[in-house]
Structure 1
């Protein structure tokens, strides 16, 4: 199977798993961690262009799992995390990882945050090495084994 097909299949599988747990994913910790993850994946290469920012914002607004939360609140949190990362990536990353760590206490939420990162990373058809690396790092932050997610 081609890499592109595996990526699409993996993102689709992750979205299906997220939908199965949608009713469990309603806490503020999950909301904060998932928006931090979206920003981290979007800015994984240290920059984010307006088109990428818009694409990720659109994915957030249309993701069924995230509909448990107000879209404008999610957008505000995503943008705030992006601002931290674009101002100073290394320093911003520390703050964003602290947000992601909020989901550590609930394994289902922690896994869902990683799955959202994979869905966002694979949305453009190219879950590249820098995106995989930040999602892998988030796995360690959440005390999850990266191999569970093929990272």
Structure 2
């Protein structure tokens, strides 16, 4: 199977797993952590590309799992995290990682946050090395082993 096909299949499987747990993913910590993860993946290469910002914002708005929350609230949280990363990527990343770490008290939510990062990273068909690296770092912030997610 080609890498592209495996990536699409993996993202699809991950999304299916998230949907199955949708009713368990309603906490404020999950909301905050997942929006921080989305911003981190969108800016994984150290820059915030306007096209990437729009693409991820659309994915957030249409993601079934995130429909437990108001779309305008999610967008505001996503944009705030992106603005921190755009202003100073290294300093902003510290703040964003603290947001991501909010979910570590509940392992199911922590895993879901990582899975959202994988879905967002793979949505364009190219879960690149920068995106994989920031999701791997998020695993450490959430006390999860990266190998559990093939990272």
Normalising by the smaller structure, the TM-score range is: over 0.9
Give me the CA root mean square deviation. 0.4
TM-score by length of 1: 0.99
Structure 1 gap ranges (5+): none
Looking at structure 2, the residues matched to 142 and 58 of structure 1 have their Cα atoms a distance apart, in angstroms, of 26
- Shift, 1:2, TM fit: 1.1
Deviation by residue 1:1-51 (Cα, 9 ceiling, x = unmatched)? 111111101100110000010000000000000000000000000112111
Instruction: Give 1:8's aligned residue.
Output: 8
1:49-64 alignment runs, 5 A limit: 49-64=49-64
Q: Distance in 1 between matches of 2:138 and 2:49?
A: 23
Partner residue, 2:81: 81
Q: 1:147: how far off?
A: 0.7
Q: TM-score, normalised by structure 2?
A: 0.99
**Which residue of structure 1 aligns with residue 149 of structure 2?**
149
Counterpart in the other structure of 2:70:
70
2:101 is equivalent to residue 106 of structure 1: no
